[in-house]
């Protein structure tokens, strides 16, 4: 074999990695929440790896660049970069920030999403805290005075 493994064992390896990612992401699309027809999506598409300064294919296939996505979203996205995809589907970005917890920092940094993700998450964390205070639950947590 030219590459040192048969295409059969390559597929077995691919399926193993894919099921690991799907399990990790709870078998739900990180863009639209669907749990139907789930596949794997590259946050930075393989075809655009040079644009994002990733010289090796291995980086693109790193777990931190892979997410669970339904086939419908994959079709919609096609080869678009992630930011244009989010511009066209604004609701998907917030889902992605919450659900794609394992997206690597270097991926978010090269796509320009890193700061936005942190801002978004701290905003909803503060929002959650305000809810707790409004409902008087904080006193309960702090031990009622
Ligand atoms: Zn989807």
42 pairs with which residues across the strands? 66
Domain count within the chain: 2
Cβ atoms within 10 Å of 71's Cβ, excluding its own: 14
* Residue 117 belongs to domain spanning: 113-145
Distance CA 81, CA 91 (A): 16
Distance in Å, CA 28 to ligand 1 centroid: 8
The verdict on 98 and 117 lying in the same domain is no
Residue pair 79/122 in contact (Cβ under 8 Å)? The answer is no
pLDDT in tens, 74-84: 999 998 999 99
pLDDT in tens, 82-114: 999 999 998 999 999 999 999 999 999 999 999
Distances (CA, A) of 51 to 64, 81, 105: 18, 10, 17
Distance in Å, CA 62 to ligand 1 centroid: 21
Angle at 25 between CA 47 and CA 8, to 5 degrees: 60
The verdict on 50 and 96 lying in the same domain is yes
The verdict on 84 and 49 lying in the same domain is yes
The verdict on 85 and 16 lying in the same domain is yes
The verdict on 45 and 99 lying in the same domain is yes
Distance in Å, CA 118 to ligand 1 centroid: 23
2 located within any domain: no
The verdict on 136 and 96 lying in the same domain is no
Distance in Å, CA 34 to ligand 1 centroid: 5
């Amino acid at each position: 074999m030219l590459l040192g493994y048969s295409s059969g064992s390559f597929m077995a390896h691919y399926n193993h990695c894919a099921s690991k990612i799907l399990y990790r992401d709870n078998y739900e699309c990180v863009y639209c929440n669907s749990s139907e027809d789930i596949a794997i999506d590259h946050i930075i598409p393989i075809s655009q790896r040079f644009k994002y300064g990733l010289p090796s294919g291995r980086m693109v296939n790193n777990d931190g660049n892979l997410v669970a996505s339904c086939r419908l979203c994959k079709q919609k996205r096609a080869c678009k970069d992630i930011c244009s995809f989010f511009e066209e589907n604004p609701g998907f970005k917030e889902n992605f920030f919450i659900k794609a917890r394992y997206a690597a920092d270097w991926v978010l940094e090269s796509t320009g999403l890193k700061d936005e993700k942190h801002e978004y998450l701290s905003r909803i964390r503060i929002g959650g805290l305000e809810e707790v205070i409004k409902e008087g639950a904080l006193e309960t947590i702090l031990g009622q005075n």
